[in-house]
Amino acid sequence: MSDLVKKQMVMLGPNLVLSKARQVAGLTVAEDGTVQAISGDPQKALQDLANTFMELSGQIAQMTLNALLEKYPGVKKPD
């Protein structure tokens, strides 16, 4: 799980990733992205962490698309 958090920190920035990772129930995450403790079911914690990052990536993709559409108003927004 630490590797997953650390890779997301590189791609999405440490502040956002740490904030989201620390909201996953049962995880204790250090400033460097290391998962220091897991309470409860580790498999569920991993799934929740992965889901959190997938949702976040989707939101970032949407924000990127919106920014591009604002920059190029002639481009039609996809359905």
Q: What is the pLDDT of residues 1-19, one digit of tens each?
A: 999 999 999 988 999 999 9
Q: What is the mean pLDDT of residues 33-45?
A: 94
Please check whether residue 76 lies inside any domain of the structure. no
Q: For strand 27-29 and strand 35-38, is the pairing parallel, antiparallel, or unpaired? A: antiparallel
Q: How far apart are CA 53 and CA 59, in angstroms?
A: 10
Give domain status of residue 14, yes or no: yes
Domain count, the chain: 1
* pLDDT over 70 at 39, yes or no: yes
50 vs 69, more confident: 50
Q: From CA 54, how far away is CA 48, in angstroms rounded?
A: 10
pLDDT of residue 66: 83
Residue 12, both tokens: 């999405």
Domain range spanning residue 28? 2-71
Task: Give every CB contact of residue 18 below 8 A, 6+ residues apart in sequence.
Answer: 5, 9, 29, 31, 33
Query: pTM of the entire structure?
Result: 0.77
